[in-house]
Amino acid sequence: MLFRQAGIRHTDYAADRALFPIPVDRLMVIALLLFSLAAPYVVSSLALSSYLTPWLVWTAATLGLNLILGWAGQFHFGYAAIMGIGAYAAVHGVKHGIPWEIAVVLGGLTATVVGSVFAFAALRVKGLYLALSTLALQFVMDWVISHVPAISGGVGATLQAPAMKLLGLAVRSESGLYYVALGWCLIVTLFMLNLRRTALGRALVAVREKDFAAAVIGVQSFRYKLVAFATSSFIGGVSGAVLIFTFYHAVTPEQFAVNVSIELLAMVIVGGLGSIIGSWFGAAFILLMPGQIHQLIAWLAGLVGAPIGVETLAHLPHAVYGALIVGFLLVEPMGLGKLYANVRNYLLVWPFGYARK
C-alpha cells in the first residue's frame, strides 16, 4: 500500500536499473535530502555541530568498514588505525601548504597504501586469524603513530589541525563544516549504493560467500580482496581526515585507538552487515546512544531519589553499550537495517499480508 509497486513496469533498461524504483522510496530520499540541506537553518547549533556532523562522518567510515566486512566478508579489526593514518597524513599535508582537497585525497591514498598491508594478511589467513592479525596491526600502528615524533609530534602530543580551506575559501562556520561532512557522506553512500549493481560488488559478494567457489567461476579472490581492502582503506582514510577537520580540529593518537576500531565494528554489526541504511542507523545508534543513556540514568536517579556515584554514572552507558551489542546479536543478528527491511517488507503488501513478497 505505502510502497506501491503497481505501475512500475520496467519498460527500459534505465528504469530497470534505477536506484530507487519505488516512488515512495524516491520521495523519502528527496525529503531527507531537502532536510539535510536545510538542517543548519532548522536544528540548533549544538545539535548540528555535536550530533549531525560527527554522525555523517562516522556513517561514511562505517560504510567503508561495511564494504570490507559486509560485502567482501574480510575481517578488519584495525579500521581506526587506517582512519588515523589518513587523518595524520592530511593534517601534515595541509601544514606543509598542500591545498586542503589534495591533502585529504593524499591522506586517503596513504591510508590505501598502509591498508593494503592488511590485505596481505588477508591473502594468507582468514576467519579468526585474520581478525587477530588485523587487531595486532592496529596495536603496531597505534604504537608507531604515537612513538614517531615526525607523525604525532611526540608521545602524548596533540597536533592542531590548520583551518580548512575548500577551493581557497576558508570554511569556519558550523554549517560550512556540516556541509563538507554531508558532502563526503553522500559521496560514499552513493558509491556504496552503486557498488551493489556493479561487477566489482558482485565479485566481492562471491568472494564473501565462498572464495574457492568464486575462484572456480573465474573471480580472482586475491585480486578482489586486495581491491576491497584498498577501497575501504581509502574511504576510511578520507573519513578520518574529514573527521579531524570538521569535528575534532586537533588530532591525537587516542582518537584512533583500538577501542575506536571496536566501536566501528559495533556500528557495522548493530547496523547490519552489508546494509547501507543500516550503516546510517548503526553509526547514529552507537555514537549518540551513550549520551542519551547517561542523561536517562541521571534523570531516573533524580526521579527515584537514589544518588548515583559519578563513576557509576560514567561507566553505566558503557555497560549498556556492551549489553546492546550482545542483545542485538541474540535477537536480530542482521541489525537495525534488517529491522527496517522487516517493516518495509510488511508495508510493501499491507493490508494484503497473505501476499508474501
The binding site for another protein (CB under 8 A) comprises: 69, 75, 121, 123-129, 131-133, 136-137, 139-140, 143, 147, 155, 211, 262, 265-266, 269, 273, 309, 311-312, 315-319, 321-326, 329-330, 333
By beta-carbon proximity to another protein, the closer residue of 121 and 204 is 121
Q: How far is the CB of 319 from another protein (least distance, A)?
A: 4
**Shortest Å, Cβ 163 to another protein:** 32
Min separation Cβ 125 and another protein, Å: 5
Comparison of 33 and 323: residue with beta carbon closer to another protein: 323
C-alpha cell at 10: 520496467
Distance CA 50, CA 56 (A): 11
Q: Supply the minimum distance, in Å, between the C-beta of residue 57 and another protein.
A: 23
- Spatial distance between the Cα atoms of 233 and 80, rounded to a whole number of angstroms: 10
Alpha helix segments (H runs only) across 272-309: 276-304
CA distance 158 to 286: 26
Q: How far is 290 from 53, CA to CA, in rounded Å? A: 17
Burial class (CB in 10 A: 0-12, 13-18, 19+), 200: middle
Does residue 91 contact residue 159 with C-beta atoms inside 8 Å?
A: yes
Nearer to another protein, 132 or 166 (CB): 132
Closest approach of Cβ 5 to another protein, in Å?
Answer: 32
Nearer of residues 216 and 323 to another protein, judged by Cβ: 323
**Which of 178/263 has CB closer to another protein?**
263
Tell me how far apart the alpha carbons of residues 54 and 226 are, in angstroms, rounded to a whole number.
29
